[in-house]
Structure 1
């Protein structure tokens, strides 16, 4: 299963990835149970790295546990908590452990999380982290000094937000990430598919790198309102909130909405990245409803 994601990209398959949160403690049983349900349904599973600045088990350690189960991990690495020495150390360690898929992130601000007294680092941000990965893959550290004990073969990806208000900033950062070596992109939660279409047509189509649309499982109208209130740059339409509030079974309605969005995304971009926070067990049902299965 080594480099399964990379091989699927080379084969130009419709890509499916999902996101799982590592445990807040040392027991990985729930995380692994969710991951096992996704075996054979996704090309890779992202393990978050202190998402929303909430302390959890190391993404790298959790990815090793997934790999031991024969499940393809995508290790998220954020710049918030590590300086360039630690980032390089973790990247080399990941490669040595066979964890080659890396999603390079800047990271959420400390004030968003549960350790607000912590000191943020942010020596690098996502574009510079991608450049660092490119350097390592070429056998050089951040100071352009050679790596005498072996060179990694990391497969880096970046995040993109097609709904960013500033079109010029969106285009600039996307192209900078391409130049820095990003091989794939996972998007933030998409609610405006016309905007995604415009992004794919006017920006992404020029670069031949797969973009996976972020699909979020909405569990209720209250859940959708919470996201509108607290997640920057996301606006879930009133019509969707109304649909959830009127549904006899809001969770089932959320599953139907996610499946509909996957069908739309399939006509616009090269894949989907599914976020079903605390209900990853429902992802197979969403994929079945969207009629999405992996080849073979």
Structure 2
């Protein structure tokens, strides 16, 4: 089965994805409401897996709910909370439920979240998870034993941070993920587009895998300052913070800033990954401001 997202990559379209958070509880109504506003505007919707180590519904369950409503998910799978048995079990279950797109992640440290006494697993990390998915797709488990009930057919991607301070470390990690089978890359929040351009022209220049720039909706100057304090590797410029602080309507200004960034990204890379925590409904308007047409 070739999904809409995969076809868009094959056709070399400018890719649009967006992130939604699973519910904290048993009712997915709000998540569905937000995700439905993205239909016709994005190629796929990322479903987070315990992002920032904060408790949420299973990303596999939430992705299945979206799929049942005709919304194509990219199911994030993080290594923090499962050993290699649990990871394989969830990947097989996701495939059986019709999920095809996976974003392989190491996972945020437990100390960053709301259950700081929980035990981390980290049996694998993102590169080894990508290799595991490649094995499952070939019909073998972690121990090279055959899958007796057919191989999987998962289309897996990885995260990348073009703003990493160590250029050598960034290049090495990116190349390892490529070699492990990553088919697409979604970046962390981009605040320095010169670094993104440098990454595209010096590191990713000879790859044919799409890179999507992370675009984050800043809702206020306070929001931007919080991100600078709490998100490693991100440095939102004073000019941007001042724009938000001086705006009569900071949220509207944040939408304009995000639209400007989408336009910049379109000149540099293959797509954008939109993040608008709890205001995913504003993403279509941001895309309109950036002149991005609806997705067929």
CA distance in 2, matches of 1:13, 1:294: 12
Contact 2:228 2:234 in 1 (8 A): yes
Contact 2:40 2:295 in 1 (8 A): no
Contact 2:160 2:186 in 1 (8 A): yes
2:227 aligns with 227
Contact 1:2 1:72 in 2 (8 A): no
Unaligned runs of 5+ in 2: none
1:27 aligns with 27
Contact 1:158 1:177 in 2 (8 A): yes
CA distance in 2, matches of 1:284, 1:294: 9
1:207 aligns with 207
CA distance in 2, matches of 1:156, 1:289: 30
CA distance in 2, matches of 1:58, 1:3: 22
CA distance in 1, matches of 2:229, 2:146: 48
1:127-167: per-residue Cα shift (whole Å, max 9, x none)? Answer: 00000000000001011111010111000000000000000
> Is 1:106 the counterpart of 2:121 in the alignment?
no
> Is 1:136 the counterpart of 2:136 in the alignment?
yes
CA distance in 2, matches of 1:21, 1:103: 14
1:288 aligns with 288
Unaligned runs of 5+ in 1: none
- Aligned runs of 1:25-64 on 2, under 5 Å? 25-64=25-64
Contact 2:217 2:255 in 1 (8 A): yes
Contact 2:79 2:126 in 1 (8 A): yes
2:247 aligns with 247
- 3-state secondary structure, aligned to 1:62: helix
**May I ask how many residue pairs the two structures share in their alignment?**
296
- 3-state secondary structure, aligned to 1:103: strand
CA distance in 2, matches of 1:262, 1:249: 20
Contact 1:17 1:274 in 2 (8 A): yes
CA distance in 2, matches of 1:2, 1:23: 28
CA distance in 2, matches of 1:234, 1:49: 21
CA distance in 1, matches of 2:250, 2:175: 39
> Is 1:4 the counterpart of 2:21 in the alignment?
no
CA distance in 2, matches of 1:10, 1:278: 31
Normalised to the residue count of structure 1, the TM-score between the two structures is 0.99
Q: Please, what is the CA RMSD of the aligned residues?
A: 0.9
Give the Å deviation of 1:48.
0.4
1:244-271: per-residue Cα shift (whole Å, max 9, x none)? Answer: 0000100000000000000000000000
- 3-state secondary structure, aligned to 1:206: coil
* Superposed structure 1 runs of 4+ greater than 4 Å apart: none
